[in-house]
Structure 1
Amino acid sequence: MNNFLVPYLKAGYPVIYLLTAEENRAELTTLKAAQECGRNLKIWSHTDGFFGVGEDDDEDSTEDPVDALEVIKASPDKQMFVFRDFHHFLKVPKIQRLVRDIAKKFRQTQCCMVIISPINQIPPELEREITLVEFELPTRKEIEQTFDNLYKANKKSIGTIDDSEKERIIQAAMGLTTDEAEAAFAKAIVERNMNQLDTPISKMVLGEKAAAVRKSGILEYFEAKETMGDIGGLENLKKWLQMRSKAFSTKAREFGLPMPRGILLAGIPGCVAAGTKIIYKRGKRHGGRTLNIEELYAKFNNIRKGYDGGPSWDHTIPTFAQSWDQETGRMIFAEISHVLKKGEKTCIRITTDDAGYVEVTKDHPILMADGEFCEASDIIIGDKLLVRGSMLPKPKKNRKQKKKAKRASIDSLPIWYKSGSVKKVNTSSGVYEYKRQRRSRLVIEAHMNGLSFDEYVEILRNCPKESESMRVLGPEFDVHHIDEDAMNDNISNLMVMLSEKHKDLHHHHDESKFDIEYTRESTVVKIEDVGVHETFDISIKEPGPHNFSTSNGIILHNCGKSLSAKATSNILGIPLIRFDVGRIFGGLVGQSEENMRSAIQTIEAIGNCVCWVDEMDKAFAGMGGGSTDGGTSQRVFGNFITWMQEKTAPVFIVATVNRIDALPPELLRKGRFDEIFFVGLPSDDEREDILKIHVNKYGRDADKFKLDECVNKSTDFSGAELEEAVISGLYHAFYEDRDLESKDILKAIKTTNPLAKSRSRQLEDMAKWATGNAVNASVVKKETKTSAGRQLDI
């Protein structure tokens, strides 16, 4: 294989800036180029000075960067010098002068200075003297050589690997550096041998690759399981993709077929800001815990250095987020499928009178007290929101309300004292395990001991001996909230009562249902812009409510067009890479451009993949106007659209947008995308298809269901909302101890307020734009009118 550095050396380039994080491979490539061109090679670092020269040469052993440049300036002809991490010193005026002097001399002496650095920090003063060269990620042949070396050294323990599995292993490692690939191979082999696993090495390498790609925070690797069979309707989009399903094959190249570029999916929009509190639980745990969304993201996605420094989670244990059941009004827990970073976005804070606040993007839907969803930017002071925090269902008309129970005196209650262990209480019936308590219970116990809440909790946590003398509430007692607001832990709102009486008060005799919580109303008292924040999204997995999650106790609607992007990956038979363009932009000079370059390089090295650019409009909105960042945004945008136009790697782009009008016109020019699709609300036929898909999905025969009325009553429903209707019907039928019927689905539809009703204006605007500018992803059927029969005078 030809060495790409050789032409530069033979052409007399004096100073080369080799942009790469692979220092070892870059130095090996440089050494081979020096040998081929007859150059002597010396390497310098700030810690070791020069090496590769005589040990008694004190002058050449200097660790000072200025002295090192003086050494090479005085060097004889045909020398080559590699400088590690020299970008740190290039801003120093004296070093800039020396580099210019060296460049002038080296043009005449066939010498070359090579700077190896992971980031591009060439100052403007040296742009004409220094040549920037991007060091590409390893080729397929290099990845294969790395695997062969490891395999030969460990063949006995690895066993025989056939050619097809080896091919999958090499493909799985494409896009990694040689060090990352070697580490992934080694870890996969060791884990399989230690745990006697049957999992193919290639699949384990893919897992390591996903973790390695995610480190940048810009790219994310997915194994898409969704197929087009999971999507109802969108027939035009499906046919278009099906026709291109073989376009990435060798046969297609031989036929002369051009590589498909990609598609843009326009549809309806939100995200929550970092710091948002999410209530979650793991596995079979009954109670929920609170975690910041960024910590949830780190733990859920196995990012080892999480935000809180703690370990990541075992994904064999399911994770649930607090959600809302639209039919019953209950707060429930629904399983999480994904926690995604959505980039830095402008957010607003909506503060309520008694339920705290939430920070979200302006387009995020929030649940109002009337059951409708409203965009955050449309909410005004005085509006009422539905929030978590009541122990009773929302009152309906003519419903008789229970009388409030009277408050019992704490002094009249039997009290237990701690003994021996902070977490155990001796009682007449044995030892009571004093586990994690609700805040209301601790408020009562603090009052019993004449302490403030903070003082009492501090003693429990940090003063074992003193805590032994604390009075605690006996295990047969519960704490009741007098105003039914489970978040109001004021001592005047708390009442101690026997557990059995507490259950009777709430009509809950089943221990597993004792924690049921409902919604209440809260008034918006303040709305303010809070600037740009890191934002996140949670995707909920069936069989729980898909579209709702609670953030700081306020109920939000989860939105997205990700299903089509994932299904595209599956139908084309190639992996999915999510490209978060919004995270490209960094605070340091040159960092944004370097992030874009690195991301594109990784995507192209992986090759044969779907590149899912989520919410492109958020990243590139307003690019046509004036820039206030010194042109950084324009340069990054220019690099991206140039790559889209000129890329030769087999990468298929699927871009999703919420607001097509926010995109700069350059992105919509012919040649950027093969096609632009508008994903609107499903038609009558599509709604029927969607309902049938989900009825069949849950083990029933859709042909036995009468779905006509369900279709007629669900005009403004999205596909996700139709699936929720089927799921709600299943719960209703299960509760009544019978099988699912059409009437269960219809009932769920009638009690659902579709999101499109609160976003009708936005949907209409997008539909108008799509006419003449985009292809409808669905087949639009025109009504055919028959001519009236001749009237006879009989």
Structure 2
Amino acid sequence: MTIENDIGLYLRARVPLLVLVTVEEQRALTVLDAARAARDSSADLVSWDIADGFRSAAGRSMPQAPTPEKALEKIGEMVRAAPKKRDLYVLKDFHEFWSKSPVVRRKVRNLAHELVYTGSSLVVTTPVRDVPRELSDDAVVLDLPLPDAEALRAELDRMITSTGGGIRSELTVHGMARLAQAALGLTSTQARRAFAKAIVRDQVLDDRDIGAVLAEKKAVIAASRALEFTAPEETPDDIGGLEALKRWLTLRERAFGDEAAAYGLPAPKGLALIGIPGTGKSLTAKMIGGMWQLPLLRLDVGAVFGSLVGESEERIRQALTLAETVAPCVLWVDELEKSFAVGGGGDSGTSQRVLGTLLTWMQEKTKPVFVVATANDVAALPPEMLRRGRFDEVFFLDLPTETERREILHVHLRKRRRDPGRFDTAQLARLSDGCVGAELEQAVVDAMYRAFAEDRDITTGDLAEAIGRLVPLSRSQRESIENLRAWLRDGRAQSASFAEAERAAEAQVRLELA
């Protein structure tokens, strides 16, 4: 059901007070006018703001109302003069007044009670979801969603038509759809600005403009503070090992589309990556976006928290709504335990309310947003976080096996334009027992620094020496690492590696036999 249909239903049900949450004021007025006309074409849409007072869409003469109190009084008079009329009264930015004045709050409440017995309704447009407690029982709060791909395509077509043929398009029908799709997550105004920038650059629409619109979207999403938009380039070849996890992802690569839906498959919900620091959890999140060719949004949970009452909850809702608008996409929530640790309740319950909002959304979301959550310390996570239904699977990233360590060395040598065949990576893999991927990468970098200082290329000996100087986490944090690995052996997660999965299964069998 569209937002226009929702508003129309509430108007027909004679709901006296609607609160429409959006920054897109002009689009909100267009939507409201359409809902008004659908219910009664003879009705009027009357708007009020503190700068210009009343304005009638039908061109009627309007009374003067320089203050919000006077505006509410005049609306009451107009309604009482024609109680059967189905006019729509829109108050712009009224949250600024009812948040500061108990008189305004009381007058809004009185007017809402009076409107119940008439055909008219009151609508408040506001950019924040902040309804006074006194009005919460009378008001219906609706969020105006960001424009979808169809609306953005119509906006693009209107802009092209308005130029009177002054621009040339080299895009196919599919290319035009991709250009509109690239603007998902932007408001109508932001999308128009991005399209206009692409059009005026060279008066030609082509594939380059898709990247330009994506760059504009990246900047807009970054301004939201809670989300960071990235275009991931990592592939499975950039990660050594983790074959079980890669296979799981490959099986779900085609699941975001009409073909999978027609087959009866739901879109995958998400994945939790738990494990030892440095084993590639963050890199895996980036790899999923690149592998599935989906936008990657990183949720910065720390940036969600604000100092004002209700600000944090509003930010998390806005971030999740934006992710749904960009969908299909990958939403990466990094280091969960740092923001939602068990017992971390020194913020008057704000973190728990934000967590509750996130968990409810994960459970009930219907848009194809694939959530990738990473954590190092599983013991610090609330138990409800990893419950089935929120994630399709929980994977544990263990210390890499000897074969995986060899693959990781190959990856980092290739990344630095070195041929792995020139090195005895089998010997290096044996020497690096207990090292994680991040430590192996640092060993390669350290060896290259040494060789560069001596004006020569690196050798197996340089790498072996660098590995020998390492003090891996598996040694310096032995107890913590062992506790994490015991969690896997208890059968609480799947191993991301085939070899480790087999060993975990064998350990479980031995435990059951004992």
Query: Could you tell me the TM-score, scaled by structure 2's length?
Result: 0.89
Shift of 1:708: 2.7
Structure-2 change in CA distance of 1:198 and 1:133 (3 Å): closer
Shift of 1:676: 1.0
Tell me if 1:717 matches 2:435: yes
Tell me if 1:99 matches 2:105: no
The one-letter amino acid of 2:224's match is: S
The one-letter amino acid of 2:499's match is: V
Q: Distance in 2 between matches of 1:566 and 1:163?
A: 30
Q: Distance in 2 between matches of 1:668 and 1:733?
A: 46
Partner of 2:487: 769
Partner of 1:71: 74
The one-letter amino acid of 2:175's match is: E
Shift of 1:725: 2.5
For residues 132-175 of structure 1, what are the alpha-carbon distances to aligned partners after superposition, in whole Å with 9 as ceiling and x for unaligned?
Answer: 11111112211111111112233433433222221221111111
Does the 8 A contact of 1:169 with 1:202 survive in 2? yes
Partner of 2:16: 14
Q: Distance in 2 between matches of 1:90 and 1:734?
A: 67
Structure-2 change in CA distance of 1:159 and 1:679 (3 Å): same
Structure-2 change in CA distance of 1:198 and 1:699 (3 Å): farther
Tell me if 1:590 matches 2:314: no
Tell me if 1:125 matches 2:134: yes
For residues 303-357 of structure 1, what are the alpha-carbon distances to aligned partners after superposition, in whole Å with 9 as ceiling and x for unaligned?
Answer: xxxxxxxxxxxxxxxxxxxxxxxxxxxxxxxxxxxxxxxxxxxxxxxxxxxxxxx
Partner of 1:49: 53
Does the 8 A contact of 1:15 with 1:114 survive in 2? yes
Shift of 1:37: 1.8
Q: Distance in 1 between matches of 2:211 and 2:403?
A: 39
For residues 564-601 of structure 1, what are the alpha-carbon distances to aligned partners after superposition, in whole Å with 9 as ceiling and x for unaligned?
Answer: 11001111221100011222222222212211211111
Partner of 2:244: 236
The structure in which a higher percent of residues are strand is 1
Partner of 2:195: 185
Partner of 2:389: 671
Structure-2 change in CA distance of 1:24 and 1:53 (3 Å): closer
Q: Distance in 2 between matches of 1:57 and 1:639?
A: 46
Structure-2 change in CA distance of 1:50 and 1:571 (3 Å): same
Tell me if 1:683 matches 2:401: yes
Does the 8 A contact of 2:269 with 2:392 survive in 1? yes
Does the 8 A contact of 1:49 with 1:63 survive in 2? yes
The one-letter amino acid of 1:23's match is: E
Does the 8 A contact of 1:48 with 1:61 survive in 2? no
Does the 8 A contact of 2:171 with 2:207 survive in 1? no
Query: Could you tell me the TM-score, scaled by structure 1's length?
Result: 0.59
Partner of 1:62: 65
Shift of 1:739: 4.4
The one-letter amino acid of 2:65's match is: T
Shift of 1:85: 0.6
Partner of 2:322: 602
Task: Name which structure has the greater RCO, CA cutoff 8 Å, separation 6+.
Answer: 1
Tell me if 1:760 matches 2:501: no
Structure-2 change in CA distance of 1:229 and 1:184 (3 Å): same
Does the 8 A contact of 2:169 with 2:205 survive in 1? no
Percent sequence identity is: 40
Shift of 1:182: 0.8
Tell me if 1:265 matches 2:273: yes
Q: Distance in 2 between matches of 1:178 and 1:109?
A: 34
Structure-2 change in CA distance of 1:663 and 1:28 (3 Å): same
Within 5 A, what are the aligned runs for 1:146-185? 146-154=155-163, 155-185=165-195
Q: Distance in 1 between matches of 2:30 and 2:208?
A: 32
Match of 2:144 among 132, 135, 139: 135
Within 5 A, what are the aligned runs for 1:193-272? 200-269=208-277
Partner of 1:457: none
Structure-2 change in CA distance of 1:46 and 1:725 (3 Å): same
Within 5 A, what are the aligned runs for 1:286-305? none
Within 5 A, what are the aligned runs for 1:81-92? 81-91=89-99, 92=101
Secondary structure of 1:16 counterpart = strand
Structure-2 change in CA distance of 1:593 and 1:739 (3 Å): closer
Does the 8 A contact of 1:50 with 1:63 survive in 2? no
Secondary structure of 1:12 counterpart = coil
Structure-2 change in CA distance of 1:743 and 1:70 (3 Å): same
Gaps of 5+ in 1: 270-557, 784-794
Shift of 1:610: 0.4
The one-letter amino acid of 2:56's match is: G
Shift of 1:63: 2.0
Q: Distance in 2 between matches of 1:628 and 1:724?
A: 38
The one-letter amino acid of 2:95's match is: H
Shift of 1:562: 1.8
Match of 2:290 among 557, 570, 585: 570
Shift of 1:715: 1.4
The structure in which a higher percent of residues are helix is 2
Q: Distance in 1 between matches of 2:350 and 2:14?
A: 32
Does the 8 A contact of 1:51 with 1:61 survive in 2? no
Does the 8 A contact of 2:22 with 2:127 survive in 1? yes
Partner of 1:642: 360
Tell me if 1:778 matches 2:497: yes
The one-letter amino acid of 1:141's match is: E
Q: Distance in 2 between matches of 1:139 and 1:81?
A: 27
Secondary structure of 1:183 counterpart = helix
Structure-2 change in CA distance of 1:166 and 1:264 (3 Å): same
CA RMSD in angstroms, aligned pairs only: 2.4
Shift of 1:199: 6.2
Secondary structure of 1:780 counterpart = helix
Shift of 1:737: 5.1
My pick for the range that moved more, 579-588 or 703-712, is: 703-712
Partner of 2:509: none
The one-letter amino acid of 1:123's match is: P
Gaps of 5+ in 2: 504-514
Structure-2 change in CA distance of 1:53 and 1:677 (3 Å): closer
The one-letter amino acid of 1:657's match is: A
Shift of 1:684: 0.9
Q: Distance in 2 between matches of 1:215 and 1:758?
A: 40
Tell me if 1:24 matches 2:26: yes
Does the 8 A contact of 2:397 with 2:497 survive in 1? yes
Match of 2:44 among 29, 40, 44: 40
Tell me if 1:696 matches 2:418: no
Does the 8 A contact of 2:340 with 2:352 survive in 1? no
Secondary structure of 2:225 counterpart = coil
Does the 8 A contact of 1:615 with 1:656 survive in 2? yes
Does the 8 A contact of 2:279 with 2:398 survive in 1? no
The one-letter amino acid of 2:496's match is: A
For residues 685-714 of structure 1, what are the alpha-carbon distances to aligned partners after superposition, in whole Å with 9 as ceiling and x for unaligned?
Answer: 110111122333444443343223211221
Partner of 2:512: none
Q: Distance in 1 between matches of 2:347 and 2:135?
A: 25
Partner of 2:125: 116
The one-letter amino acid of 1:183's match is: R
Q: Distance in 2 between matches of 1:150 and 1:197?
A: 12
Structure-2 change in CA distance of 1:618 and 1:734 (3 Å): closer
Partner of 1:619: 339
Tell me if 1:708 matches 2:426: yes
Secondary structure of 1:131 counterpart = strand
Secondary structure of 1:233 counterpart = coil
Structure-2 change in CA distance of 1:197 and 1:702 (3 Å): farther
The one-letter amino acid of 2:39's match is: C
